[in-house]
């Protein structure tokens, strides 16, 4: 039986093979990147920030032929390695556009397992209270329908924030170490997918 994480998170990113075959998997216009009909602004401005964030990379998630969601990573400046993205100071955003209805339980379970797979048991125990906080936020959200946007932000004020369709949800979670733990779900030593990691680091553009 597949684990809940494997059932939810296997990924096929925008691939070089598809590009070589001429498959129109992604369009790139001035100021906008697009994949599967999902548009990502190349430059993101948030009211809380004096500056702006740049789209570092993006990818399309598929499961058994179904499009699940498109994901983009925003950073203050380009980061083409996991280390540079994780350690880069300043605000960050992971943005997911849902292409198929998912539940809070699916998303929360996938995030928790992704943290566990990229950290030692001692680190996971240290994160446990904040993982519980994130779980409560996800349960508050409930089901997420097609077209919804879920953003996980790191703000220089020192907190992780979940935003759904432009609306902050739940209590902010303190500690940059926790946001880096979330980033490692996709960019760590055991990411959800090497293709997804490569896409978010901008290597498939």
CA dist., res. 113 & res. 25, Å (int):
29
Q: Which of 23-27, 126-130, 152-156 has the lowest mean pLDDT?
A: 23-27
Question: What mean pLDDT do residues 81-92 have?
Answer: 96
- Whether residue 39 is predicted with pLDDT greater than 80 in this model: the reply is yes
What are the beta bridge partners of residue 60?
70
Tokens of 108: 């929360």
Tens digit of each residue's pLDDT (9 = 90 or more) over 41-61: 999 998 888 789 999 999 988
Residue ranges per domain, the chain?
4-200
Average pLDDT of the segment spanning 30-44 = 85
Question: Do 41 and 54 form a contact (C-beta atoms < 8 A)?
Answer: no
Instruction: Please answer whether residues 58 and 70 qualify as being in contact, where contact means their C-beta atoms are separated by less than 8 angstroms.
Output: yes
pLDDT 10s digits, 110-134? 899 999 999 999 999 999 999 999 9
Residue 164 — very low, low, confident or very high, per pLDDT cuts 50/70/90?
A: very high
SS (H, E, C) the chain: CCCHHHHHCCCCCCCHHHHHCCCCCEEEECCEEEECCEEEECEECCCCCCCCEEEEEEEEEEECCEEEEEEEEEECCCCCCHHHHHHCCCCEEEEEEECCCECHHHHHHHHHHHHHHCCCHHHHHHHHHHHHHHHHHHHHHCCECCCCEEEEEEECCCEEEEEECCEEEEEEEECHHHHHHHHHHHHCCCCCCHHHHHHHCCCCC
CATH number 3.50.50.60 is the correct assignment for the domain at 4-200: no
Count other C-beta atoms under 10 Å from residue 145's C-beta.
10
Q: In whole angstroms, give the CA distance from residue 121 to residue 94.
A: 25
How is residue 126 written in tokens?
């240290």
Q: What is the band of 204 on the pLDDT scale with cuts at 50, 70, 90? A: low
Work out the end-to-end distance of the chain between its first and last CA atoms, rounded to an integer number of angstroms. 35
């Amino acid at each position: 039986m597949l684990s809940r994480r494997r059932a939810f998170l296997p990924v096929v990113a925008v691939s070089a093979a598809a590009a070589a075959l001429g498959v129109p998997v992604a369009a790139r216009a001035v100021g906008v990147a697009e994949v599967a009909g999902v548009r990502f602004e190349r430059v993101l401005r948030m009211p809380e920030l004096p500056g702006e964030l740049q789209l570092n990379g993006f990818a399309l998630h598929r499961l058994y032929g179904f499009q699940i969601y498109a994901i983009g990573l925003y950073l203050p400046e380009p980061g083409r390695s996991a280390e540079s993205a994780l350690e880069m100071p300043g605000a960050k955003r992971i943005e997911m556009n849902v292409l198929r209805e998912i539940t809070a339980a699916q998303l929360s379970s996938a995030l928790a397992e992704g943290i566990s797979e990229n950290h030692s048991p001692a680190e996971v125990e240290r994160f446990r209270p904040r993982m519980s906080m994130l779980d409560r936020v996800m349960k508050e959200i409930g089901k997420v329908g097609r077209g919804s946007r879920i953003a996980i932000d790191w703000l220089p004020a020192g907190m992780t924030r979940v935003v759904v369709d432009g609306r902050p949800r739940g209590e902010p979670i303190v500690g940059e170490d926790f946001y880096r733990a979330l980033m490692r779900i996709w960019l760590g030593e055991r990411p959800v997918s090497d293709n997804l990691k490569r896409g978010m680091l901008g290597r498939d553009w």
